[in-house]
Structure 1
Amino acid sequence: MTRRCPLVAGNWKMNGLLASLAEIAAMGGAYDSALRARLELVVCPPATLIGMASDLATQASIGLGGQDCHAAPSGAHTGDISAEMLKDLGARYVIVGHSERRAGHGETDAIVQAKASAALRAGLAPIICVGETRAEREAGDALRVVGEQIEASLPADSPDTIVVAYEPVWAIGTGLTPTVADVAQMHAFARERIEARLGGGKSAGVRILYGGSVKPANAGELMSVANVDGALVGGASLAAKDFMAIAEAYRVIG
């Protein structure tokens, strides 16, 4: 069986000023060699901080990621940032298709797929987000919605270095989380759909993260679920103490 190194990624969203860079240094202080052997840690600060965060992240052995990218490598796209620009600043990952982008910026699965392809073109690993709304789950459509998002958002020729993040929209920032049984069902289903999309046994190497109100108090339980290969953490990643408490779950998870 392919061993997938767990990944815990922090999405700072539109938060963080220069003083927030001290949190990355503090994370590095807690990310010791024993913990590095158990999981990969990544921070995705706002674009304004990526350049300045690069050296700090490198010194701390923490991966760096962007929160979004444009599908084009350059051009007349005022306010956007390309995958190549992120790569140039030292990023290794980029989040694409977050529900806040899908809802707030009208991003379709096709747009998300184009951005994921752009990330791969630039040598970045895309963290491709999928997830259902509360209404869709209550209507019994969660599996169908996520399956369709996987089919339409993942480039068909993706390598197994891509990352998929399952984030039930209704759990993001609400304090609500699915049951362990629901998470297990969705992650097993997601791996099946990833295999159907990519083929060749690639799904065995693809890391599937859980996201949505991940906190130190529930991290151990959630990260222990089969087919959960880490977490995409929102608000709790802004403070090194909370983010590293989530990562600490992997000291005891086999």
Structure 2
Amino acid sequence: MSAPDVAVSPDAPEPLLVERRDDRVIATLNRPDKRNAIDQATIDAIHALCAELEDEPRILIITGTDGVFASGADIAQMRERTAADARAGINANAFVRINELPMPVIAAVDGWALGGGAELAFAADIRIATPDAKFGNPETGLGIIPAAGATWRLKEIVGEARAAELLLTGRILDAAEALSIGLVTAVHPTADLLAEAHAIADRIAKNDPAATMATKRVMRAPRADHPHVDLEEQAVLFESPEKHRRMTEFLERRSAKRSAK
């Protein structure tokens, strides 16, 4: 995949801060002086993180800094990109890779998530937000289209008519509207946002990772592949020792509860 050569200052901070735990990774966009605008260095860091999570699947939480998720792509770099850069899908391919990670991805959005920042959030499996969150795709006002996923992901999330209105007008929507149309699943106070993201991750982590990854794969399969793809994944899981262990424990707990009455 080609990309423009971009000079990076040796003193520049890491564009993506990564905290690793046994069952999850927390990635924090870290360009506060640029309102977390997504530049080439950020994209490179995303690819490196995806390679790690493809090799060792874990839940991913993506968040921002200083009250901003991501204000969009770095316009100074975007202005210089050419037709060849557009066809290379610099941001689009990174966001596809995030969306296709084996384990779930949670976007914890505080403040602006615009343009490429919104598209990054759209690539997550689950989105939660603070009351200060604002989503929008103002690309047509800059003479381009939202080509990193919004034109097809957003209509899958909120429906075609709603997506058309948002993308064609470039209108910004707040957290309350994002919740009402299903773009986010919950709105939490700013101080609680990351803890709530971890609470979702905790619930996911209690489940069988193999079943979780199978569920994500099946959810992303084309409609024509169902129910065949569901049944094939289930066939593998039905033979797994973990399925037998978990179901045995469930039956034993139920039996113990009945005996205690």
Q: Same fold (TM over 0.5)?
A: no
TM, length-normalised to structure 2: 0.30
TM, length-normalised to structure 1: 0.31
Task: Specify which structure has the bigger relative contact order, considering alpha-carbon pairs within 8 angstroms and separated by 6 or more residues.
Answer: 1
Structure with greater helix percent: 2
Structure number with greater Rg is: 2
